[in-house]
Chain A
Amino acid sequence: MLDPAGPAAHSIARLWWVMLIGSTAIFALVMLLLALAWRPARAGATEAAAERTWIMGLGLAFPVAVLLVLLGYGLWLGERLLPRAGPDVARVAAVARQWSWTFSYDEAPGRTTDGVLHIPAGRPVDVAITTRDVIHSFWVPRLAGKLDAIPGHVNVLRIEADTPGSYAGLSAEFSGHGYEDHSFTVIAHAPDDWQAFLEDGQ
Chain B
Amino acid sequence: MTALARHRRLSAAWASGPGWKGWFSTVNHSDVGRMFLVTAFFYFLVGGILAMLIRAQLATPHSAFAGPGIYSQIFTMHGTIMMFLFAIPAIEGMAIYLLPKMLGTRDLAYPRLTAYGYWCYFFGGAMLLVSLLFGIAPDGGWFMYPPLTGRIHSPGINTDFWLIGITFVEISAICAAVEFTVSILKYRAPGMSLARMPIFAWYMLVVSLMILTGFPPLILGSILLELERAFGMPFFQVELGGDSLLWQHLFWLFGHPEVYIIFLPAAGVVSTVLPVMASTTLIGYRWVVAAAVALAILSFGLWVHHMFTTGIPHMGLAFFSAASTLVAVPTAVQVFAWIGTMWKGTPRLHLPMLHILGFFVTFVIGGLTGVMVAVVPFDWQVHDTAFVTAHLHYVLFGGFVFPILAGIYYWLPLASGRRRFFRLGNVAFALIFIGFHVTFLAMHWVGLMGQRRRISTYAPEDGWTAINLISSVGGFVLAFGLVIVLIEIVLHLVVPRRSRRNPWGAGTLEWAVPMPPPAYNFASLPRVTSREPLADDPDLGVRLARGEGYLGDARGGLRETLMVDIATGEPEQHVVYPANTRLPLVMAAVTGVFFLSLLLKLYWLTPLALAGVAVLGWRWVWQLGSDTDLGCQPVGHGLALASASETDRPPGWWGSAFLLVANATLFGSLLFGYAFLWTVAPGWPPAAFMEPSLLVLVAAPAGAALAVAGIALAVRRNRIGGDPTAALLAALAGALCLAGAFALLLAGAPHPTGHAYGATLWVLGCYGLVHALLVALMLAFLLARQRAGYVSRSRRAELAIVPVWTGYLAVVTALILAAVYLPGFAA
- A contacting B, Cβ–Cβ less than 8 Å: yes
Contact B322 A71 (CB under 8 A): yes
Query: Which chain B residues lie closer than 8 Å to A19 at the CB level?
Result: 371-372, 375, 378
- Nearest-neighbour CB distance to chain B for A38, whole angstroms, equals 6
A79-B314 contact in complex given A144-B380, A175-B148, C-beta closer than 8 Å:
yes
Query: Which chain A residues lie closer than 8 Å to B335 at the CB level?
Result: 30, 59
A1-B453 contact in complex given A54-B283, A60-B329, C-beta closer than 8 Å:
no
Q: Is B769 an interface residue (CB 8 A)?
A: no
Q: Is A41 an interface residue (CB 8 A)?
A: yes
Query: Which chain A residues lie closer than 8 Å to B378 at the CB level?
Result: 12, 15-16, 19, 74
A59-B309 contact in complex given A15-B375, A151-B238, C-beta closer than 8 Å:
no
Cβ-defined partner of A2 (8 Å) among B283, B310, B357, B449: B449
Q: Is B628 an interface residue (CB 8 A)?
A: no
- Nearest-neighbour CB distance to chain A for B342, whole angstroms, equals 4
Docked pose: A179 CA to B145 CA in angstroms: 14
Docked pose: A13 CA to B377 CA in angstroms: 10
Docked pose: A64 CA to B309 CA in angstroms: 26
Contact B145 A135 (CB under 8 A): yes
Scoring A residues 84 to 96 as 1 if CB is less than 8 Å from chain B, else 0, what string do you get? Answer: 0000000000000
- Nearest-neighbour CB distance to chain A for B637, whole angstroms, equals 33
B334, B336, B453, B455: residue with the most chain A Cβ atoms closer than 10 Å:
B336
A145-B682 contact in complex given A70-B371, A150-B245, C-beta closer than 8 Å:
no
A59-B336 contact in complex given A36-B343, A147-B311, C-beta closer than 8 Å:
yes
Q: Is B44 an interface residue (CB 8 A)?
A: no
Instruction: List residues of B (280-338) whose CB comes within 8 Å of A's CBs.
Output: 283-284, 287, 291, 309-311, 314, 317-318, 321-322, 325-326, 328-329, 332-337
Cβ-defined partner of A74 (8 Å) among B244, B321, B452: B321
Contact A141 B309 (CB under 8 A): no
Q: Is B608 an interface residue (CB 8 A)?
A: no
Docked pose: A174 CA to B144 CA in angstroms: 10
Instruction: Choose the segment among B10-18, B21-29, B361-369, B493-501 that binds chain A (4+ C-beta atoms closer than 8 Å).
Output: B361-369
In chain B, what residue has the closest Cβ to A41?
Answer: B346
Scoring B residues 439 to 454 as 1 if CB is less than 8 Å from chain A, else 0, what string do you get? Answer: 0000000001110111
Q: How many chain A residues touch the partner (CB < 8 A)?
A: 73
A77-B238 contact in complex given A47-B283, A137-B309, A180-B68, C-beta closer than 8 Å:
no
Q: Is B480 an interface residue (CB 8 A)?
A: no
In chain B, what residue has the closest Cβ to A135?
Answer: B145
Instruction: Choose the segment among B110-118, B258-266, B382-390 that binds chain A (4+ C-beta atoms closer than 8 Å).
Output: B382-390
In chain A, what residue has the closest Cβ to B147?
Answer: A134
Cβ-defined partner of A50 (8 Å) among B317, B340, B450, B681: B340
Contact A137 B384 (CB under 8 A): yes
- Nearest-neighbour CB distance to chain A for B655, whole angstroms, equals 36
B69, B278, B284, B332: residue with the most chain A Cβ atoms closer than 10 Å:
B332
Docked pose: A55 CA to B333 CA in angstroms: 6
Docked pose: A26 CA to B322 CA in angstroms: 20
Docked pose: A170 CA to B380 CA in angstroms: 13
Cβ-defined partner of B347 (8 Å) among A16, A30, A37: A37
Instruction: List residues of A (4-38) whose CB comes within 8 Å of B's CBs.
Output: 8-9, 11-12, 15-16, 19, 23, 26-27, 30-31, 33-34, 36-38
- Nearest-neighbour CB distance to chain A for B692, whole angstroms, equals 30
In chain B, what residue has the closest Cβ to A78?
Answer: B376
Docked pose: A64 CA to B327 CA in angstroms: 10
Q: Is B781 an interface residue (CB 8 A)?
A: no
Query: Which chain A residues lie closer than 8 Å to B283 at the CB level?
Result: 47, 50-51, 54-55
Q: Is A160 an interface residue (CB 8 A)?
A: no
Instruction: List residues of A (56-106) whose CB comes within 8 Å of B's CBs.
Output: 58-60, 62-64, 67, 70-71, 73-75, 77-79, 81-82, 98
Contact A135 B314 (CB under 8 A): no
Query: Which chain A residues lie closer than 8 Å to B550 at the CB level?
Result: none
Contact B314 A82 (CB under 8 A): yes
Docked pose: A108 CA to B2 CA in angstroms: 96
- Nearest-neighbour CB distance to chain A for B162, whole angstroms, equals 14
Contact A151 B375 (CB under 8 A): no
Q: Is A152 an interface residue (CB 8 A)?
A: yes
Q: Is B758 an interface residue (CB 8 A)?
A: no
Docked pose: A105 CA to B606 CA in angstroms: 54
A81-B153 contact in complex given A145-B309, A150-B311, A174-B454, C-beta closer than 8 Å:
no
Contact A54 B284 (CB under 8 A): yes
Cβ-defined partner of B377 (8 Å) among A60, A81, A152: A81
Contact B337 A1 (CB under 8 A): no
In chain A, what residue has the closest Cβ to B247?
Answer: A135
Query: Which chain B residues lie closer than 8 Å to A134 at the CB level?
Result: 145, 147-148, 153
Cβ-defined partner of A151 (8 Å) among B140, B147, B291, B365: B147
Docked pose: A16 CA to B67 CA in angstroms: 34
Contact B381 A34 (CB under 8 A): no
Query: Which chain A residues lie closer than 8 Å to B357 at the CB level?
Result: 34
Docked pose: A77 CA to B376 CA in angstroms: 9
A34-B342 contact in complex given A153-B311, A172-B385, C-beta closer than 8 Å:
yes
Instruction: List residues of A (164-202) whose CB comes within 8 Å of B's CBs.
Output: 170, 172-180
In chain A, what residue has the closest Cβ to B236?
Answer: A151
Query: Which chain B residues lie closer than 8 Å to A74 at the CB level?
Result: 321, 374-378
Docked pose: A135 CA to B681 CA in angstroms: 15
Query: Which chain A residues lie closer than 8 Å to B314 at the CB level?
Result: 78-79, 82
Q: Is A163 an interface residue (CB 8 A)?
A: no
Cβ-defined partner of B448 (8 Å) among A2, A31, A137: A2
Docked pose: A73 CA to B344 CA in angstroms: 37
Query: Which chain A residues lie closer than 8 Å to B332 at the CB level?
Result: 58-60, 62-63
Q: Is B651 an interface residue (CB 8 A)?
A: no
Q: Is A123 an interface residue (CB 8 A)?
A: no
Query: Which chain A residues lie closer than 8 Å to B140 at the CB level?
Result: 174
In chain A, what residue has the closest Cβ to B449?
Answer: A2
Query: Which chain B residues lie closer than 8 Å to A79 at the CB level?
Result: 314
Contact B326 A145 (CB under 8 A): no
Contact A172 B287 (CB under 8 A): no
- Nearest-neighbour CB distance to chain B for A164, whole angstroms, equals 21
Query: Which chain A residues lie closer than 8 Å to B455 at the CB level?
Result: 179-180
Known contacts A23-B369, A174-B141; 19 further A-B pairs (Cβ under 8 A): A1-B381, A1-B448, A12-B381, A27-B365, A27-B368, A44-B344, A50-B340, A50-B343, A55-B284, A64-B329, A71-B321, A71-B375, A74-B378, A135-B145, A145-B379, A146-B380, A146-B381, A147-B309, A176-B72
Q: Which 9 A-B pairs give the minimum distances between C-beta atoms?
A: A145-B380, A54-B340, A152-B238, A155-B311, A59-B333, A37-B342, A74-B375, A23-B368, A180-B455
Q: Show 9 A/B contacts (Cβ-Cβ < 8 Å), sorted by A.
A: A19-B378, A67-B325, A67-B328, A74-B374, A78-B377, A145-B377, A153-B311, A174-B148, A177-B72
Interfacial residues, chain A to chain B (CB-CB below 8 A): 1-2, 8-9, 11-12, 15-16, 19, 23, 26-27, 30-31, 33-34, 36-38, 41, 44-45, 47, 50-51, 53-55, 58-60, 62-64, 67, 70-71, 73-75, 77-79, 81-82, 98, 129, 133-135, 137, 141, 144-148, 150-153, 155-156, 170, 172-180
